[in-house]
Amino acid sequence: MENDIQKKFLEYVKKINHYKQAMALMAWDGRTGAPKAGVPQRAEVLGTLSAEVFAMSVSDQMKDMLAALDKATDLSDIVLKSKEHCQKTYDRNTKIPADEFKAYVMLQSTAESVWEEAKEKNDFAMFQPYLEELVSYNKKFIEYRGYEGHPYNTLLDDYEPGVFTDTLDRVFAELKAALIPLVKKVSNAKKQPNTAPLYAYFPKADQEKLSHAVLKHIGYDFDKGRLNETVHPFAIGINPNDVRVTTKYNEHDFRVALLGTIHEGGHALYEQNIDHEFIGTPLSGGTSMGIHESQSLFFEKFVGQSLPFWKNVYPLLKQHAGSQFDDVELEDFYFALNESRPSLIRIEADELTYCLHIILRYELEKGLFEGTIEVKDLPRLWNDKMEEYLGIRPENDGEGVLQDVHWSSGSFGYFPSYALGYIYAAQMKQAMLNDLPNFDQLLEQEQIGVIREWLTKHVHRYGSLKKPQEIIADITGKSIDAKPLLSYLTEKYSNLYELS
Residue 267 and residue 292 in contact, taking contact as beta carbons nearer than 8 Å: yes
Chain residues 183-222 in contact with its own copies, contact rule CB under 8 A: 221-222
Question: Is 99 an interacting residue with respect to its own copies (CB under 8 A)?
Answer: no
Which of 36/232 has CB closer to its own copies?
36
Smallest distance from its own copies to CB 234, Å: 16
Question: Is 50 an interacting residue with respect to its own copies (CB under 8 A)?
Answer: no
Residue 401 and residue 124 in contact, taking contact as beta carbons nearer than 8 Å: yes
Question: Is 75 an interacting residue with respect to its own copies (CB under 8 A)?
Answer: no
Question: Is 10 an interacting residue with respect to its own copies (CB under 8 A)?
Answer: no
Q: Which residues pair with 239 in a beta bridge?
A: 242
**Is the sign of the CA dihedral 112, 118, 119, 124 positive or negative?**
negative
- How would DSSP label each residue in 262-320? HHHHHHHHHHHTS-GGGTTSTTSS-S-HHHHHHHHHIIIIIITTSHHHHHHHHHHHHHH
Q: Is 174 a catalytic residue?
A: no
User: Which string of x and - marks every residue 219-258 that binds its own copies (by CB under 8 A)?
Assistant: --xxxxxx-----------xx-xxxx--------------
Asked if residue 18 belongs to a known ligand binding site, the reply is: no
Which of 213/279 has CB closer to its own copies?
279
Residue 342 and residue 477 in contact, taking contact as beta carbons nearer than 8 Å: no
- How would DSSP label each residue in 374-417? -GGGHHHHHHHHHHHHHS---SSGGGTTTS-SGGGGT-TT-THH
Question: Is 45 an interacting residue with respect to its own copies (CB under 8 A)?
Answer: yes
Residue 456 and residue 302 in contact, taking contact as beta carbons nearer than 8 Å: no
Total residues in contact with its own copies, by rule CB under 8 A: 36
Asked if residue 267 belongs to a known ligand binding site, the reply is: yes
Chain residues 280-309 in contact with its own copies, contact rule CB under 8 A: 280
Smallest distance from its own copies to CB 183, Å: 42
Asked if residue 263 belongs to a known ligand binding site, the reply is: yes
The Cα-based distances of 238 to 25, 291, 369 in angstroms read 7, 18, 34
Kindly name the residue from 116, 117, 133, 264 that is annotated as catalytic: 264
Question: Is 437 an interacting residue with respect to its own copies (CB under 8 A)?
Answer: no
Which of 24/373 has CB closer to its own copies?
24
Dihedrals φ, ψ of 39, to 5°?
-55, -50
CA-closest candidate to residue 86, choices 96, 98, 78: 78
Question: Is 43 an interacting residue with respect to its own copies (CB under 8 A)?
Answer: no
Q: What residues are annotated to the active site?
A: 264
Q: Which residues bind its own copies (CB under 8 A)?
A: 14-15, 18-19, 21-22, 25-26, 29, 33-38, 40-42, 44-45, 48-49, 221-226, 238-239, 241-244, 279-280
Residues of the binding site for Zn(2+): 263, 267, 293
